[in-house]
Structure formats: structure tokens, C-alpha cells
Amino acid sequence: MGKGRLEAFSDGVLAIIITIMVLEMKVPHAGAHGEGGHGPGLADLLPIFPVFLSYLLSFIYLGIYWNNHHHMMHTVTRVTGGVLWANLHLLFWLSLVPFVTGWMGENDFAPVPTAVYGVVLLLSALAYYVLQTVIIRSQGKDSLLAKAVGSDWKGRLSPLLYVAAIVAAPFLPWVALALYVLVAVVWLVPDRRIERVIAPD
Amino acid sequence: MGKGRLEAFSDGVLAIIITIMVLEMKVPHAGAHGEGGHGPGLADLLPIFPVFLSYLLSFIYLGIYWNNHHHMMHTVTRVTGGVLWANLHLLFWLSLVPFVTGWMGENDFAPVPTAVYGVVLLLSALAYYVLQTVIIRSQGKDSLLAKAVGSDWKGRLSPLLYVAAIVAAPFLPWVALALYVLVAVVWLVPDRRIERVIAPD
Amino acid sequence: MGKGRLEAFSDGVLAIIITIMVLEMKVPHAGAHGEGGHGPGLADLLPIFPVFLSYLLSFIYLGIYWNNHHHMMHTVTRVTGGVLWANLHLLFWLSLVPFVTGWMGENDFAPVPTAVYGVVLLLSALAYYVLQTVIIRSQGKDSLLAKAVGSDWKGRLSPLLYVAAIVAAPFLPWVALALYVLVAVVWLVPDRRIERVIAPD
Amino acid sequence: MGKGRLEAFSDGVLAIIITIMVLEMKVPHAGAHGEGGHGPGLADLLPIFPVFLSYLLSFIYLGIYWNNHHHMMHTVTRVTGGVLWANLHLLFWLSLVPFVTGWMGENDFAPVPTAVYGVVLLLSALAYYVLQTVIIRSQGKDSLLAKAVGSDWKGRLSPLLYVAAIVAAPFLPWVALALYVLVAVVWLVPDRRIERVIAPD
């Protein structure tokens, strides 16, 4: 079975997830119910600013996932049922990102929403790890992806930082947020491991 | 006429259906109308939990449909007008899944919404069967798909279980729900019939 | 310039239009504002029924457009700037279909919304005609599409029926609706003209 | 790394952005809360007219971006990490267009929303310029895109006009709007530069 449709479907879902998040940024109304009142001033943008920041953070996270998914799929030669479902499992957790992004942003990074945001990031990271493992197993030994991933320090570090952020969020939500930004920065550095191994092709 | 655009369009619609369902999970507001009040506590997630469960169930169903659609299209060699419209007919019923999912979840699996959820699943299953039949007819005898489908016990069993669930829902909604979960589990076991027949290619 | 990306973009927009229409079917709430009240009864579905009917009609229309667009693009050999913009022009009018569908359905096929629905269908049909003409011109004489379209009685009849429906809607909205259904039925009969001309390929 | 998936992902995001904008055009309700009241008259469309105009303007802008993105990607031969992220950066700013479009339209082109609309257009234009520069650098000297872009007077003029519009908006919002329309008209003239250079292929 070809991987073309798997990539196309994943791209479609990721493109929709990354775009519908912006719908959480509601056009401001002075009267909240649109009772004649509108929100045409700069001050009306202020309450949306935290939503904008959380949107920016999640946009970067989803960009990283799309980017890494893109690289990982390059190494896939056969798509098994296990790969299909591990991929859907990853998309499921990522599909919850817009919800927790909106919740965290609308509540100005309050403790509980900030912790729940981390839980969704953690479960997405674990789902990514499961997908990676399923692909490596389907490739047998001498797996191209296994070589490319190597020690995978980023993949091992991120869940630890997410757990630290989830634990910190109820007391110090801004520390949790700083950890989320840190993980994003760590991953933003482009992942040259797979490019290096594939290069000779 | 090629089947590439048919697959791409179906993938697009399925990707959108599976993703907009998450929009039914509304970001919680303590004040219901956003009158200054927000919903930043863990307790605010509680009323969303049934919506989350129904989302999870429908996500798995749509994943199964995408998966099986993927397999079935592998056997298609020519796309007739009948195949195009049978495919759109299937997409129509599947497009109602987010609506019934949200309705069932927001009402904590109340009898009527749970029954209506089953009606949409039943009509989707029948639409899938119609599409399968149209494809087999368009392939003439010695149809590859006909061989792959074989006795099709899953395809015959599911509608019966849906009907049982619809009948049970007004009295025992949790029995209906258990039947929906059962059908999903039956289909989650990957469908090796088509892979088996195609394998020699 | 290849036509692959033009088809992919059009498919994407059409898939999104056809799917977001279902968002106009709002999950019913007994209390309208979600004030504890829900809408778990069969009676709660009644007010949604006209929305469902208008959704069904528009789904069929968009299916017909996708189908015919699919056929027409088969005859395109080079994509000029004019073709790109004529295509976007068509997508613009089709993108208004969900809005007028929701408006017509929520108002139980009231005169004005039913007339405005016809206006959008009319402008979409004219945009389709413009796209067809631009493609034929870009192909020079001996245009494959010109031969395939032939006398184009469907393309000439539809706008007349839309105009009749728009005129009738303020007085007899159900006559207008019947005319919309009639046009859909006329087009549902698969367009074999292009298949006939292309067949020898 | 191939550019196919980059194009497909960008097309997906642009198709979604261009289509969800129409969701800002809310189906009119006489009673604002749907309390039995509906909005079935022509007069109910009047308040939506500015939203329609701003939607039309943004649709054209996104069409131009898609069109030019399409042309630019034709010249790309290798996709580096820098190109991927410069592309995501462009999509980020474009994803804010539906928000500012809705805000400007719902407030009848009030000064502040009209200025903020210009800010998003300006940042999108700068992001496009960054993407163009990253691609040219990745191609080394003798860059095909560098030749095609040439003096790039449109790319240089647009930001100046956006800045002028942003400055004018607080005092003369209609002047700002006229400038946005002017920039759109300038770009609507198809960009033959790239076609001219690529033509010999």
C-alpha cells in the first residue's frame, strides 16, 4: 500500500487543525452579544492578546510536528495497518490542541488550563514516539529511521520537560509556559539527523 | 477518468469531517455568555467529558471508514459516474456524524440522541455497501473487490448491531453505546481481506 | 504551468465548502443559551429539519459542480492566468452557498432567503460559464472542450430556470424551491458529453 | 526533500483560510439570540453588506497570494529547513486575515480595525519577501527566481502603500480602504515575470 494517501490525509488534518485554531480568536464585540454594540477600538484587542500568544505557540508546535512528520514519512517504505492507526492516534491528540489552546488563552494562562495544555502536548509526544516505534518495527532491523533517530535526545527530553511543566503549572503557570517555549525552541532547530542519513539518495 | 481526484476529494472531506468535530467541544466559560466570567478550573472540564468520549468514538469510526475506503479504492480501475455519486452519497451521511456526535455528547448520551447517532451510522454503513456494490458492478465479473470482500460478515453484521442499538437506545442507552463500541472494535481489527488478494501485485 | 495544483486547490476549497455547510446545523439546545437546558428529544430535531433539507439540496449542487469541474479540467492542457482567476471567481460564488443555505433553511424557505439562494446559484452558474469560455478560448479553435460542450442546452436552460425561481420566490417560494430541485435533477444525469469526446484517449 | 508536500500543505492551509472567512458572515437573526425571531427580510442582509465587501477584498488578496505562491514554487528545486519555516511564517500571518476581515467588516470599516487589517497585510507582504529571499539564497547565484523577480517594483511598492494606509486609517479610513483596493488591482494584473523566464522549459 502506498504512503501517498497517508501523507495527503495527514497533511489535510494538520492543515485544518493549524487553521481552525484561529477561529478561537473571536472577533471582539463591545456588547458581548452583538446587541448593537461593536468592538472597534484598539482596547478591544487587549483581551484577545493572550489568545494570540497561545495561538502563536501552538502554530509553532504544529509546524514542528508537520515538519518532523514530513521527515519521518520519507523513511517509510511500506504502510502497514499498524502505521495507519499509530498515525491516526497521533492526529487524535494533535486535534485537541486547538481546544486547549483556546482554553489556555481565554483564561490568561491560568494554572489548570496551562497544565492541561501540557497534558495534550505530552500525549501527542508519546503518540509520536509510538508512531516512530511502529515504523521502525515495520522496517525490520537495519531500519533507516532507527539509524536516523539515533540517540533521540530531543524525543527523550521533551516528555520530561512536559511533565515538569504540568507539575509546575498549578503553582507557577509562567514557569510551565517557559518550558513549553523551551521545548519549541529545542525542536525549531531543524532536525538534520534524517537528512544526513538520507542524503546519499 | 482517473481515481486520483476522487481519492483526494474524499480524503479532503474526511479530513475536514474528522477535524471539525473537535469544534463541538466548546471552550468552557463559567458565565456561559463570556460576561467577564471564564472557566479556568478542572471542574469546568467535567461537562465536556461526555462530548470528549463521543468525539473519541466518532474519531475511531471515521478512521475506520477512511482506512476501509483507502483499501477499497485500491481495487478501483475505472471511475464511472455511478461510483462518483455513490461516493458522494457516503460522504453525505458521514458529514452528519459531527452533528450527531455533538448532540449525543452534549446530552450525556440521552436516549433519543443516542438512537439518532445509530441511525446516521446505519445509513453510512448502507451507503458504504452501496458504493461497494456499484464498484463491483463496474468491474464486471471476476471483480477484484468481490473476491476481496468475500462473505463480508463484518459488513452484514454491523447494520444488524446498529438496528439493535437503535431499538435499545430509548430504553437502555448504555447498551446502545456498548454496541457502537463493539462494532468499532470488530472493524478496528485490520481488514486483511483486500491486502491478501492484492498482495501478488 | 501544470493544472495539478489548480485541481488540488479547487478540490480543497470545494471539500471545505461542502463540509462546513453542516456547521449551519446547530446542535439543538432547549434553552437556546445552554443555560443548563439541553435539547435531547426528537422534537428538538424538528426546527432543524428545513436546515437539513436545504443542506441536502446544496450538497447535491456542490457535488454536481465538483463532478462537472472534474470533467472540464480533463480537457485543460494549459493553465493561463485567465483560467486561474476565472476558477477563483467560480469558487467565490460557490463559497457563499453555505451562507445562503443556512439562511434559507433557518427561515423555513421564506420568500427573500429563497430568492437570494437562487441569486447565488445564478451567479455561480454564470461564473461556471465564464470559466468554460475562458478555457475554450485558451485552447484555440478545434477546442476539445468546445466540441464536448456542444449545444450546451443544460448550461443555457439552468440560468433561465434560476431567474424564473428568483422571480417566483417572493410570491410562491415553494415553486422556486421546486425549480431548484428540477435543475439539480437535470444535472444529476451524468454529463456524458465530455466522456464521449475524450473516450478515444 | 521534495516540494510536493510543501505545496500540498500550503494549498490546504490557503484553501481553508479562504473558505473559513465566509463563516464570519453570520446568518442573520432578527432576535440576535434566535429567540423565536428570525431574519428573513432583505433588510436583514444590510448589516452584513460591509462584511461581504471585506470578504470579497480578502478573497482577492488570498487569491493573489495563492497565485504568486504557485508561480514562486515553480522555481524551487530544493526545499531546505529555512524554506519550510519561511513558508510557515507566511501562512501564519495569512491565517490572521479572516480575523481582521471579520473585525473590519463587522465594524463598518471603523478606523482602528481598518488600520489593523493593513498591519496584517503588511506583515504578510514582509513574510512573502522573506520567503522569496530565503528561496533565492538556497538557489545560489544564477537563481532562477532572482532573475524572474527582477526589480520587483510591485514587491517594493506594496509595503509603502500599506504603511500609508495604516497611517491614514485613523483619520480617513476610506482612503486606507482605497489603498488596499489599489494594491490588489496592481497585483491582479498577472505576474508574467516568472512565466517569461520559465517559458523556455
Number of domains in chain C: 1
> Smallest CA–CA separation between B140 and chain C, in Å?
19
- For residues D53 and D174, what is the distance between their CA atoms, to the nearest angstrom? 13
The residue-averaged pLDDT of A114-118 equals 96
State how far the Cα of D8 lies from the Cα of C5, in Å rounded to an integer: 8
Confidence of residue A34 (pLDDT cuts 50, 70, 90): very low
Question: Averaged over D174-190, what is the pLDDT?
Answer: 90
Helix axis angle, B111-138 to B153-168, nearest 10°: 160
pLDDT at C192: 59
- Calculate what percentage of chain D has a pLDDT beyond 70: 87
pLDDT value, residue C13: 94
CB spacing of B88 vs C23 below 8 angstroms = no
Confidence of residue B192 (pLDDT cuts 50, 70, 90): low
Q: Distance (Å, rounded) from C-alpha C148 to C-alpha C167? A: 32
The answer to whether C38 and C30 are in contact (CB under 8 A) is yes
- ipTM for the predicted complex comes to 0.86
The CB-side HSE value for B78 (13 A sphere, CA atoms) comes to: 9
Which is more confident, A128 or A194? A128
pLDDT bin (cut points 50, 70, 90) of residue D201 is very low
Q: Which residue has the higher pLDDT, D144 or A1?
A: D144
Interface of chain D toward chain A, CB-CB under 8 angstroms: 1, 5, 8-9, 12-13, 16-17, 20, 23-24, 32-33, 81, 84-85, 88, 91-92, 95-96, 98-99, 102-103, 106-107, 110-113, 116
Query: B164-175 pLDDT, tens per residue?
Result: 999 999 999 999
Determine which of C5-9, C33-37, D27-31 has the lowest per-residue pLDDT on average: C33-37
**What is the distance between the alpha carbons of residues C13 and D197, in angstroms, rounded to a whole number?**
30
Q: Which residue has the higher pLDDT, C179 or D80?
A: C179
pLDDT of residue D3: 82
Asked if B29 and B102 touch (Cβ cutoff 8 Å), the reply is no
Percent of chain B with pLDDT over 90: 50
Q: What is the mean pLDDT of the segment spanning A62-69?
A: 92
pLDDT > 70? residue C197: no
- Mean pLDDT over C170-190 rounds to 90
Contacts of D171-178 with C-beta under 8 Å, sequence gap 24+, read D171/D111, D173/D109, D173/D110, D173/D111, D173/D114, D173/D115, D174/D109, D176/D114, D176/D115, D176/D118, D177/D109, D177/D114
Q: Which domain holds residue C66?
A: 4-198
More confident call, C44 vs A162: A162
SS3 assignment for C99-131:
HHHHHHHHCCCCHHHHHHHHHHHHHHHHHHHHH
Model confidence at B29, in pLDDT bands (50, 70, 90)?
low
* Min distance D178 CA to chain A CA atoms (Å): 19
From residue C26, give the alpha-carbon distance in Å to each of A84, C23, C39: 32, 6, 11
B38 contacts on A by Cβ (under 8 Å): 106-107, 110
Contact A9 B11 (CB under 8 A): yes
A99: nearest CB among B15, B22, B39: B22
Nearest to C19 among B8, B20, B103 (CB): B20
Residue contact A12–B15, C-beta within 8 A: yes
CA distance A5 to chain B (A): 8
A36 vs C182 pLDDT, higher one: C182
Q: Does B19 contact A23 at a Cβ distance shorter than 8 Å?
A: no
Q: Which chains touch B (3 or more CB pairs under 8 A)?
A: A, C
Q: Quick count: other Cβ atoms within 10 Å of Cβ B90?
A: 25
State the pLDDT at residue C190.
59
Q: How does residue B7 score in pLDDT terms, banded at 50, 70 and 90? A: confident
Chain B positions in Cβ-Cβ contact with residue A16 (cut-off 8 Å): 15-16, 19-20
For residue B44, pLDDT beyond 80: yes
pLDDT digits (tens, 9 = 90+) for D103-142: 999 999 999 999 999 999 999 999 999 999 999 888 876 7
Q: Would you state the pLDDT for residue D147? A: 77
Residue that wins the pLDDT comparison between C166 and D199: C166
Residues of B in contact with C59 (CB under 8 A): 88, 92, 95
- In tens, the pLDDT along C6-33 reads 888 898 999 999 998 988 888 776 544 4
Using CA atoms, how far apart are residues C177 and C161, in angstroms rounded to an integer? 11
All three cell numbers of C199: 473516450
Residues of chain A whose C-beta is under 8 A from some C-beta in D? 7-8, 11-12, 14-16, 18-20, 22-23, 25, 27-29, 33-35, 38-42, 45, 56, 59, 63, 66-67, 70-71, 74, 188, 190, 192, 195
| Residue D41 pLDDT > 80 | yes
**Residue to substitute from D16, D27, D187, interface C, most C β-carbons within 10 A:** D27
How much is the pLDDT for B201? 43
Give the A-side interface with B, CB within 8 Å: 1, 5, 8-9, 12-13, 16-17, 20, 23-24, 32-33, 81-82, 84-85, 88, 91-92, 95-96, 98-99, 102-103, 106-107, 110-113, 116
Tell me how far CA of residue B175 lies from CA of B109, B166, B178, B180, D63, in angstroms.
Answer: 11, 10, 5, 9, 51
* Arithmetic mean of pLDDT, C131-153: 80
> Is-contact B80 B139, C-beta < 8 A?
no
Total Cβ atoms within 10 A of residue C109: 18
Which of B10, B17, B22, B60 is the mutation pick for testing A, counting most A CBs within 10 A? B22
Express as a percent the part of chain B with pLDDT over 70: 88
Q: Is the model's pLDDT at B139 over the cut of 50?
A: yes
Task: Please state which of the ranges A20-29, A162-171, A183-192, C164-173 shows the lowest mean pLDDT.
Answer: A183-192
Does residue A146 carry a pLDDT above 50?
yes
pLDDT of residue D192: 59
Asked whether the predicted pLDDT for residue B53 surpasses 70, the reply is: yes
Among A111, A126, A105, smallest CA distance to A176 is for: A111
What value does the mean pLDDT take over residues B98-107? 93
* CB-closest option in D7, D15, D28 to C13: D15
Nearest-CA distance from D156 to chain C in Å? 22
DSSP H or E segment with residue C50: helix C49-74
**B134 interaction partners in chain C (CB closer than 8 Å):** none
Does residue C46 or residue A101 have the better pLDDT?
A: A101
* DSSP letter string, D116-168: HHHHHHHHHHHHHHHHHHHHHHHT-SS-HHHHHHTT-HHHHHHHHHHHHHHHH
CA atoms of C164 and C118, how far apart (whole Å): 9
Residue D19 has pLDDT above 60, yes or no: yes
- The pLDDT confidence band at residue A35, using thresholds 50, 70 and 90, is very low
pLDDT at B33 over 60: no
Q: In this predicted structure, which of A136-140, B56-60, C123-127 has the lowest mean pLDDT?
A: A136-140
User: With contact defined as beta carbons under 8 Å apart, do A87 and A96 qualify?
Assistant: no
Nearest CA in chain B to C31: B32
Q: Which single residue is written with the C-alpha cell 488578496?
A: D61
**How close B86 gets to chain C, by Cα (Å)?**
11
Query: Does the pLDDT of residue C36 top 90, yes or no?
Result: no
- pLDDT at position A199 is 52
Q: pTM for this structure?
A: 0.89
* Contact criterion met (CB < 8 Å) for D12 and C13: no
Query: For residue A16, which residues of chain D lie inside 8 Å, CB to CB?
Result: 12, 16
